[in-house]
Amino acid sequence: MPAVALGEGTLPGFDVQVNDATGAARTSAVTWNDITGRGYLETSHWGVLRLQGS
């Protein structure tokens, strides 16, 4: 996939998921925007970032 330049005014799709585990079992997960927990399968539940100049 070719690189895409991200600049001011760009709205890239974005989500973050943090998992907690005990041994090999996931015990909890927190996401920024995707409440389904399936953002790794499809991007329709992602939020967006608004990039601004400083």
For the segment 4-50, what is each residue's pLDDT rounded down to a tens digit?
Answer: 778 888 888 888 888 899 998 889 888 888 888 788 888 888 898 88
More confident residue, 3 or 36: 36
- Residue 52: its pLDDT value, please? 81
Whole-angstrom distance, CA of residue 4 vs CA of residue 6: 6
36 to 4, 6, 7, 17, 33: CA distances (angstroms): 27, 27, 29, 11, 9
Cα(45)–Cα(18) distance, integer angstroms:
16
